[in-house]
Amino acid sequence: MRVLAAGDNFVGPDLLENAVRSRVNDVEVGKLKLPWPVEPFGPVGGVEEASGTEQQVIEAVEGAEVCVTQMAPFTERVFAAAPSLKLVAVSRGGPVNVDLAAATRAGVTVTYAPGRNAAAAAEYAVGMILAAMRRIPDSDAELKRGNWRGDFYAYPEAGIELEGSTVGLVGYGAIGSRVARVLRAFGAEVLVADPYTDQDALRADGVEPLALDEMLPRCSVVSLHARLTPETKHLLDADRLALLPEGAVLVNTARGGLLDYQPLPGLLRSGKLGALALDVYDEEPPPPEWPLHGAPNLITTPHLAGATRQTAHRAAEIVAAEVDRFARGERAAHLANPDVRGSET
């Protein structure tokens, strides 16, 4: 069986190859290295968040039955040029770099890797919450400039504690549920807005389920953990942001499109938002004229929440396990296109 390991600078081709070889015998592996994250991902040939070009993939995938990848663009054009291809195993939480309709028409099974970065992203979100609540980046930056900001200890400038605070989580999947457990250990009251999770199960976890508009006015901190869909785009728009209490902290480590960015600079400058911590953006990277540049009490990081070495290894192992199932004629564990021919195996 010929496999293409289309890796990048995070989940590398060698890592993918080694994971596949550890599970599957008698396999020929070709390798392609894509430029992400040194170069940002973006739309390619009708798919989102991809790295590299269609032509690169077409040339590399020739004759392969399987491709394991994180970011390679699999478009209608690529599928048309790869008649031998039977499986694309994507090492991400969702196969947004794959045209699923085109894959299904071509008879190609597409799998994905749910939960691969759940621990990493949850830890990062909690870190961002703490950094925003306690002004850690501001105090670090000031001291590095030679300024001992003792006034940060003054009451008006002092931060707030998680213990006794009310934190609202938008979304309660693999990441949000982990964040909730950590926050409760800190002594926070945790509210959750997630209509897709059983409300009794939420209560059993010690969190309070609420509708989003009911939750927001009660929260000193809100952290976003929902998927970006047409339904959730700009889920927190100007009207919902206005529901937050004065001085609330807002954290987004999920997807930039969940937030309406237009009102954010004004909310920070007015103090309506006490702090804003972002790891994701409506445009990545933000342009030089980005309106939030220079806004007060803003923490920004370049989409790093899932970036741990364990995540990379976990991702490679998940896709390698799917290749093993394919080689054995078994049904995929994480099937993205259940209507594809042969998915009933």
Q: Residue 332: which pLDDT band, with cuts at 50, 70 and 90?
A: very high
CA distances in angstroms from 141 to 55, 137, 144, listed in the order given: 44, 6, 5
Cis peptide before 37 (omega within 30 of 0): yes
Give the span between the Cα atoms of 264 and 167, in whole angstroms: 19
Whether residue 275 has pLDDT greater than 60: yes
Query: What pTM, to 2 d.p., does this model score?
Result: 0.91
The per-residue pLDDT for range 158-203, each reduced to its tens digit, is: 999 999 999 999 999 999 999 999 999 999 999 999 999 999 999 9
Question: Long-range contact list for 97-101, CB < 8 A, 24+ apart?
Answer: 97/41, 97/44, 97/47, 97/48, 97/49, 97/50, 97/51, 97/69, 97/70, 97/71, 97/72, 97/73, 98/47, 98/74, 98/336, 99/45, 99/46, 99/47, 99/74, 99/75, 100/336, 100/337
- Kindly give, in sequence order, each residue whose CB lies less than 8 Å from that of residue 106, ignoring residues fewer than 6 positions away: 79, 80, 82, 85
* SS3 state of residue 245: coil
Question: Binning pLDDT at 50, 70 and 90, where does residue 345 land?
Answer: low
* CA dihedral angle for residue 41, residue 43, residue 47, residue 52, rounded to 10 degrees: -50
Of 333, 269, 268, nearest to 111 by C-alpha is: 333
What local confidence, expressed as pLDDT, does residue 61 receive? 98
Mean pLDDT estimate for the chain: 96
Q: Do 188 and 162 contact (CB within 8 A), yes or no? A: yes
Complete domains list, the chain, with CATH: 2-116+308-328 (3.40.50.720), 118-300 (3.40.50.720)
Q: Which of these, 20, 18, 28, lies nearest to 65 by C-alpha position?
A: 28
**Could you tell me which of 309, 316, 317, 314 has the C-alpha nearest to residue 69?**
316
Residues 6+ apart with CB under 8 A from 231: none
81-122 per-position pLDDT tens digit: 999 999 999 999 999 999 999 999 999 999 999 999 999 999
Q: How far apart are CA 196 and CA 175, in angstroms?
A: 15
Over pLDDT 90: what percentage of the chain? 96
Q: Which pairing describes strands 221-224 and 298-300: parallel, antiparallel, or unpaired?
A: unpaired
Write down the pLDDT at residue 139: 95
Selected residue with higher pLDDT from 285 and 78: 78
Please give the Cα distance from 244 to 191 (Å, whole number).
Answer: 14
Q: How far apart are the first and last CA of the chain?
A: 19
Instruction: Tell whether the model's pLDDT for residue 343 goes beyond 80.
Output: no
Query: Is residue 16 within 8 Å of 68, Cβ to Cβ?
Result: yes
Q: Are 276 and 264 in contact (CB under 8 A)?
A: yes
- C-alpha to C-alpha distance for 280 and 118, rounded to whole angstroms: 16
Q: What positions carry a catalytic annotation?
A: 255, 284, 303
Give the pairing of strands 2-7 and 248-252: unpaired
Whether pLDDT at 344 is above 60: no
pLDDT of residue 341: 81
